[in-house]
Amino acid sequence: MAQPNGFKDVASAVKSTASGWDFLMSNGVLPRYNQWTIESGSGFADQKRPPLQYFIEVQKAYTELRWKYKFDPPFPSTFSRSAYLLCCLQDFEYYHGTGVLSKKKQDEMLAAGLKSNDEA
């Protein structure tokens, strides 16, 4: 969504980004998810940040594609929700996922008498 040549609306930006991720994931490549960052001194330093809706929708698209292609969370060494990325990726995983970082898996572990990764 960086101007002057970037997308003007959230839906188009998310659709384009998700299309690229879909191509990569369908070919066995898990791209690294990076949030929009404005670096002082860069050519984009004076850019207006995209709206919150962009971040929510693009992170949701990334997570849903990761589930579709059965990729584990991108940082398997951090199996604690509190140590995961500082964005809503961990919340999508926790509340809607089925993997090791999901609420469902954490509840199953607690029911089996095992410590959750957040308690370990």
**Residue predicted with more confidence, 84 or 109:** 109
Classify residue 118: in a domain, yes or no: no
Classify residue 72: in a domain, yes or no: yes
pLDDT of residue 76: 47
Measured between alpha carbons, how far is 5 from 92 in angstroms, rounded to an integer? 31
Give tens-digit pLDDT for 44-86: 888 888 998 998 899 889 989 988 998 876 654 455 555 545 4
Classify residue 1: in a domain, yes or no: no
Pick from 22, 88, 31, 9: nearest CA to 55: 88
The whole-model pTM stands at 0.69
Residues 63 and 89: beta-carbon distance below 8 Å: yes
pLDDT of residue 81: 52
HSE toward the beta carbon, residue 33, CA cutoff 13 A: 25
Classify residue 17: in a domain, yes or no: yes
Classify residue 4: in a domain, yes or no: no
Domain tally, the chain: 1
Cα 88–Cα 84–Cα 56 angle in degrees, nearest 5: 10
What is the extent of the structural domain holding 68?
Answer: 10-111
- Check residue 73 and report its DSSP letter: P
pLDDT of residue 74: 60
Residues 22 and 59: beta-carbon distance below 8 Å: no
In whole numbers, what is the pLDDT of the chain averaged over residues? 80
Res. 43: pLDDT tops 60? yes
Q: Quickly state the pLDDT bin for 25 (edges 50, 70, 90).
A: very high
Classify residue 31: in a domain, yes or no: yes
